[in-house]
Structure 1
């Protein structure tokens, strides 16, 4: 398995519930040393106990050099990475961690910032709140949307006096009629005011924000997602993948990826996140039509490339350049 180029072996200093179905992990150097610095919005790759690599946003103050904090939602319908972390990792365990990377950084040009989070999408926003509050020069607001208080991570921290006046936490109880109305916050584009929007959360929330910010400058609206379509679909069926370089034909069953099947047969494939978000496993598609489930490929690439960590076949057979 390919992994991020810089791996750290860190100790789990704390592992505790953060909300219903969410567990918070505090990671430290086992010798008490400083960790590589990061900026708000950064994430780390984590090798989970089941062997899969997953990416998680850093949720603590970027000024802290002695720890990383992540929050992991247990995904029952996922492929086991989050379950192995939530169910199997305790304080005192060691985890392999990639160095921080940032594709969701606060834009220095933003004169004010609106943060919109849904569910576990709060994690990068926690670091952003800390960085914005410490900076003190840019007005900011967080709107955090969840079903109920029991499923709301970091609720106590969000009540801190220096943050609370800028934080709105809304519970809709799962009732669409009680959904928070974002339109008054997004109706006026941020081009004149220098306002930027950052959104992280479920696909439905991000799709809604995309629609409501369609009239905003693209450079002022930022999205982060580690939620590619990794869950099995009810209509998934096995299919055949042919590895063109060797001619090897393999069956990809429901619940397993092309990457996993190829690796099980001794084929080395570059990979990192294994969740359709990083692009490491992009592979040329030579024949067949892919069922694309990643967040990486551009529309112009989908006819002749496939992300083998998550995507499947629309027909009975794919031929890939492996």
Structure 2
């Protein structure tokens, strides 16, 4: 279950690209929800029990609804598929907005989006246009069918927008060098697949410190191809649970009906921290300090190196 949760109802859904659907959630009575700044996200507990973070598409200081866009990932861990099965009228647990990708103050802005990474960038474009900021945006996608919100962005930005389709051809990838060869006063905000963000990191090293900003929800992979099953024993109940090779401790506990608090489920927020009684842990999170690893574990991503883990549950 999410911390600081609220129950919201799916009021509408619409396709905004091939395999990408926009979902609109409201509270009962369409009451005002916590403010949603550009770059912010909400964590949603999907009907299957998985918790996933999704960027908010429209910034609003007094929202009566939250809108997120979700790409259907057939080979993912099930969160997006569960979202795409969600029917209008169903309710989900949602955490109040958080923002790890806030817009700062700058003389000008360069917004860069790739694929589904357009969601927080589109929100930023809206907020910046409302304040008459100086900006440009580059949006890269495989094809027009895969690109979400292009008509909306064109209407919003006009010639400030550059949309590029590579059609899956590596020889046709967008060349960012002209945009980065000479450092400018712009702050760069980038969200997209790993290769895109790695490219921007690689060609922006000569830019001033603090001028390049990234959003990446990938976090830490909860399971890897070479993972093996192992067992966890719950100290308080004596129950032993097998954690399969393709599931996290958190997911295995959830499958057994054991309620645990979580949020990001990617090893980056610390919500699911659990006491460790004994066991050899493969710590994979990005939260715990070295001195905490002897008696704490993040059950959303970490696993046993060998043998059994005993948890303070």
Aligned with 2:230 (options 236, 239, 242): 239
- CA spacing shift, 1:181–1:242, aligned 2, 3 Å: farther
- CA spacing shift, 1:12–1:262, aligned 2, 3 Å: closer
**Number of aligned positions between the proteins:** 310
Question: Which residue matches 2:86?
Answer: 89
Tell whether 2:131 aligns with 1:139.
Answer: no
Question: Which residue matches 2:51?
Answer: 53
Tell whether 2:289 aligns with 1:290.
Answer: no
Tell whether 2:221 aligns with 1:221.
Answer: no
The 10-residue stretch of structure 1 (223-232 or 163-172) with the greater mean CA deviation from structure 2: 223-232
C-alpha separation between the residues in 2 aligned to 1:215 and 1:232?
A: 36
- CA spacing shift, 1:12–1:205, aligned 2, 3 Å: same
Question: Which residue matches 1:187?
Answer: 181
- Superposed CA offset, 1:205-264 (max 9, x none): 122222222233442221112123547544333234456777765432122111122445
Tell whether 2:171 aligns with 1:177.
Answer: yes
Question: Which residue matches 2:148?
Answer: 153
C-alpha separation between the residues in 2 aligned to 1:163 and 1:93?
A: 35
C-alpha separation between the residues in 2 aligned to 1:301 and 1:62?
A: 41
**TM-score of the two chains, using structure 1 as the length reference:** 0.84
- Give secondary structure in 2 for the equivalent of 1:31: helix
- Superposed CA offset, 1:136-176 (max 9, x none): 0x31111111111111111221120x412111111111111
C-alpha separation between the residues in 2 aligned to 1:30 and 1:83?
A: 25
Tell whether 2:149 aligns with 1:163.
Answer: no
Question: Which residue matches 1:117?
Answer: 113
Tell whether 2:102 aligns with 1:102.
Answer: no
RMSD: 2.8
Give the CA deviation at 1:107: 0.5
**TM-score of the two chains, using structure 2 as the length reference:** 0.86
- CA spacing shift, 1:145–1:263, aligned 2, 3 Å: same
After superposition, residues 299-318 of structure 1 pair within 5 angstroms as 306-313=297-304, 315-317=305-307
- CA spacing shift, 1:66–1:270, aligned 2, 3 Å: closer
- Superposed CA offset, 1:42-87 (max 9, x none): 111112111222111100142562322100112222222211111x
Give the CA deviation at 1:297: 3.7
Q: Which runs of 5+ in 2 are unaligned?
A: none
C-alpha separation between the residues in 1 aligned to 2:160 and 2:297?
A: 42
C-alpha separation between the residues in 2 aligned to 1:185 and 1:299?
A: 38
- Give secondary structure in 1 for the equivalent of 2:116: helix
